[in-house]
Structure 1
């Protein structure tokens, strides 16, 4: 028995926000002092470091659970299955539903339950739950789904990654330019076909690293001190990722028994182009090699960092032929990898 992705779907929000759209923002240092550079210089340096030209935001009427349901429906249709036959709905997110213009998250009921309700699934044996695992949440959901299937507890699982980060950013923080919204979903099933999940690896680093990503006050001290926004220690995250993600990827690959020369694509969390490129370079350096051209497809340039949604969205876009000069074919070995708040790292070796 092998465990494979049999269907995928994604929702790409319709609101395009370019770097120029931040021209009127008043960016501040973390101590509230004025930032010394103009917004034009900030935008240029931001593009050079992150590779992000634009990002997508949801329209005011949509919630995280709404876009997740859209992606889920597409994945179910792609897999050609009856949603009543699903055993698990695993929904990875980090901030729940945050309505436009509000400051409170809503996770009651769980977002997975809302998706099940919106899909009109009656079967009570279809278990729906959320996981909070930072940006690696969808990858971890896939790892959990394959564990359920391997243990005989499930045959078909829906795994979703969705986020609306535009609702939890501080407009005075330059890091707000990184974040975006989106949703991706996949169906995992037991199958007699060759391939599927060959190995996985997960780790949580929390002794020194737990608060590299956190909720904090606005950099504008005139804002309500009881309202919190997503904050990060960018330099520490960068150094942490470069030190630890390549090792986790290598451990996962070695566990799978697959030679690095057989890896066709690496679908890594779309966090920051320069960081992702450096991770790939260090990963191949562990095998005394250089990464092949085109090994790392990117969506961050136009879609930004949608956290837990980046990897499943990238996978779906590639499967549907929507990433220029990139494709996935039957038999290809793919390495999924992600890093994020927690600080959590995970990886999967997967054969198409």
Structure 2
């Protein structure tokens, strides 16, 4: 039976030039390279330059994804930007990127699911394409988390960085089997009871300020592995595959201990896990497309590979997407 699949045509990424190392942070707060590395696996992260915005990073990643796909930018009729750090309260940062790409038709909007944003955005674009609401989509995850960090809080400022990644999806006809290219299965979840564990203490309606990121790190870690494996097992059931069938596991790059524990619980071999947390830190919605682009460009992810994406973020939100490259 023929079905419509959202097939990946290309990907791209962008990082700020400034590198902030653990040693640099040790001069700013009471921490050390050893302390950060042991607890998170992070060695360095990128920080946006003054005046460099989420739209700037998202646009560069989008342009590289468009070039990688080899398409005419004018054929894009959907832009979904996942971000928790938009340029403005409104309009959507996706609209700014749309304008800078020279597009005047189609639809562009932001999606807010924090670190799970890219999985939520990919799932949203997949639904648009499958239902004939668009033919070609640009999905972006872009963040400037450095702008919402409390640089005196050593428990959070060491974790996050800035960056962007993007992917082009196109509606194509598949055979309806797991061998099809494109998005094969998705599962999303949210549970607002956990808001206080990871949130920003500001907003237009509540404080009229941007606010700073606040996190109960031990609580987040306690829930993360179980929630992640829950949605991944649901995706495996949907697609009728197992961990052994996965070629590449590309998780949200929050913490190496969470990544390793999740892979072990799922039975995914260590050599199949793509990890860039050491060089990027946690870039929220940008972390999965950044890691994906690294793995594609260095030749690990190849056409026909079965790729598993997974993330968990504030809210809590969490989700997984299975796609064949």
SS in 1 for 2:194: coil
2:134 aligns to what?
154
**Per-residue deviation, residues 41-83 of structure 1 (Å, max 9, x unmatched):** xx32221010101111121131110110011111111112222
The CA deviation at 1:9 is: 0.9
Q: Please list every run of at least 4 consecutive aligned residues from structure 1 whose deviation after the TM superposition is greater than 6 angstroms.
A: none
Q: 1:188 and 2:161 equivalent? A: no
Higher helix share: 2
The CA deviation at 1:299 is: 0.5
SS in 1 for 2:150: coil
Q: TM-score, normalised by structure 1?
A: 0.85
Give the one of 199, 205, 216 matched to 2:191. Answer: 205
The CA deviation at 1:227 is: 6.6
2:285 aligns to what?
308
Q: Is the contact between residue 87 and residue 154 of structure 1 (CA under 8 Å) also seen in structure 2?
A: yes
1:263 aligns to what?
246
SS in 1 for 2:185: strand
Q: Is the contact between residue 248 and residue 306 of structure 2 (CA under 8 Å) also seen in structure 1?
A: yes
2:95 aligns to what?
113
Give the one of 290, 305, 313 matched to 1:332. Answer: 305
User: How far apart, CA to CA, are the structure 1 residues paired with 2:8 and 2:29?
Assistant: 44
Where does the alignment leave 5 or more consecutive residues of structure 1 unmatched?
A: 28-38, 98-105, 218-224, 285-290
Where does the alignment leave 5 or more consecutive residues of structure 2 unmatched?
A: 175-179, 203-207
**Per-residue deviation, residues 257-303 of structure 1 (Å, max 9, x unmatched):** 1232111111000000011111111222xxxxxx3231211111111
1:103 aligns to what?
none
Q: Is the contact between residue 247 and residue 283 of structure 1 (CA under 8 Å) also seen in structure 2?
A: no
User: How far apart, CA to CA, are the structure 2 residues paired with 1:26 and 1:6?
Assistant: 43
What is the RMSD of the two structures over their aligned residues, measured on CA atoms? Answer: 1.8
**Per-residue deviation, residues 131-169 of structure 1 (Å, max 9, x unmatched):** 111111111111011101111111101010000111111
Q: How many residues align?
A: 312
Give the one of 157, 162, 176 matched to 2:157. Answer: 176
